[in-house]
Copies of this chain bind each other. A is one copy, B any other.
Amino acid sequence: MITLASDFGTPYPAAMKGVILSRCDARLVDVGHDFPRQDVRTAAFWLRETLPEFPPAVHLVVVDPGVGTDRAALVARAGDHALVGPDNGVLLPAARELAGDDGVETYELEIGDPRSSTFHGRDVFAPGAAAVHDVGVDRLSELDDVAPIENVVDLTFPDPDVREDGATGEVLVVDGFGNVVTNVPGDVLADRDAVAANGDRVPVVRSYAHADAGVRVVTIGSHGNVEFAVNRGRGDEAFGLSTGDRVELEW
């Protein structure tokens, strides 16, 4: 199985699929191709949340603003999974989550003389993913085109500051519903009926529809973190928040 994620929209992902299917008969599963364009951090977050749901697979990830520069192409082995994509940090949070105690092994993927300098998804990463799939994740180090690499670009998400009387955190992403996903762990909301969220007192609810339509709330999102939300509305607009903004909770 090969999963595919990118910020390509249409039709570049199909070119990658054609390349892969010309080389192997893997099952292909789209993770999504409308991640915010060239936003490595947002893609890294969603991949960390999503890829661990999959059975062992090769995960092709192309959010690659540095295409055609000297940034390396990577294969990251993470337990029974492998991730293939650019060396800009986008693979690492998901790889660590998938690897657990095994740790992540990183390899440089060296495809000589790719057809283009502007579409390595098609010309480097798709052939790389097909090659890893064909040889098998546990034998990927035997591939001629890969070599161990130590210093890769990392990407981490900031830790929140959780105190006795509140927490300070950051907006990691906003989802398509407008729910504002923070880095504050959801368990700070346990047994609370209400908190001050960026200064305004709002109810703590089990899920969106436990409040009336239009009411601002905080809840625990599917990733386990505190979300700022509005039942049947957009939390980002109601709270005036976007990715990277600071959030304050007080109780």
Q: Which residues of B contact A207 (CB under 8 A)?
A: 67-69, 117-118
Query: Most B CB atoms within 10 A — which of A30, A210, A222?
Result: A222
Q: Which residue of B lies closest to A69 (CB)?
A: B209
Tell me which of B1, B50, B117 contacts A219 (CB under 8 A): B117
Residue interface bits A118-132, CB-to-B below 8 A is 1, else 0: 110011000000000
Do A3 and B14 have beta carbons less than 8 Å apart?
yes
CA distance A209 to B54 in the complex (A): 33
**Copies per assembly:** 3
CA distance A8 to B46 in the complex (A): 14
Interface-located stretch among A21-29, A137-145, A148-156, A194-202: A21-29
Query: Contacts A9-B176, A11-B32, A31-B11; is A50 near B208 (CB within 8 Å)?
Result: no
Q: With an 8 A cutoff between CB atoms, is A214 at the interface? A: no
Query: Contacts A14-B29, A32-B10, A37-B177; is A22 near B118 (CB within 8 Å)?
Result: no
Do A50 and B116 have beta carbons less than 8 Å apart?
no
Measured CB to CB, the residues of A under 8 A from B are: 1, 3, 5, 8-19, 21-22, 28-35, 37-38, 46-47, 49-55, 65-69, 115-119, 122-123, 175-177, 206-210, 219-222, 224, 227, 232
